[in-house]
């Protein structure tokens, strides 16, 4: 029987993988761009959490650096995609080309 930390880490890894799979399904199915942006953001957050658990499991801070960079890139990507979606919505309301 493993320690409480080992069991918690295993359960955490399994739940994070499940959340990535669910977000990937939403990313593929859509139906709208906003759904896809939220799914991509959820996948980014889940992978950051995975890096945090890996840092605890392997007792190294390198995964924390990876998680920090990934979180920053994910945030910038989400902002850029949200701005793109807003711009397309504004053009559609004006009746211009999309």
Cα–Cα distance for residue pair 13/29, rounded to 1 Å: 25
Cα–Cα distance for residue pair 49/55, rounded to 1 Å: 10
Q: Is the dihedral of CA 85, 91, 94, 97 positive or negative?
A: negative
Cβ contact 21:39 at 8 Å: no
Q: Per-domain residue ranges for the chain?
A: 4-94
Q: Percent of the chain scored above 90 by pLDDT?
A: 65
Which residue is it, tokens 């998680």?
A: 67
The band of 78, judged by pLDDT with boundaries at 50, 70 and 90, is confident
Cα–Cα distance for residue pair 80/43, rounded to 1 Å: 16
pLDDT at residue 87 in the model: 84
Q: Which fold has domain 4-94?
A: Helix Hairpins (1.10.287)
The band of 59, judged by pLDDT with boundaries at 50, 70 and 90, is very high
pLDDT tens column, 89-98: 777 777 656 5
89-to-33, 38, 97 alpha-carbon distances in Å: 11, 17, 11
pLDDT tens column, 18-54: 999 999 999 999 888 888 889 999 999 999 999 999 9
């Amino acid at each position: 029987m493993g320690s409480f930390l080992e069991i918690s880490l295993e359960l955490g890894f399994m739940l994070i993988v499940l959340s990535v799979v669910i977000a990937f399904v939403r990313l593929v199915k859509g139906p709208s761009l906003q759904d896809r942006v939220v799914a991509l953001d959820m996948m980014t957050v889940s992978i950051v959490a995975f890096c945090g658990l890996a840092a605890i499991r392997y007792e190294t801070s390198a995964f924390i650096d990876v998680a920090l960079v990934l979180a920053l890139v994910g945030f910038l990507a989400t902002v850029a995609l949200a701005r793109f979606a807003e711009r397309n919505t504004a053009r559609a309301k004006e009746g211009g080309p999309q």
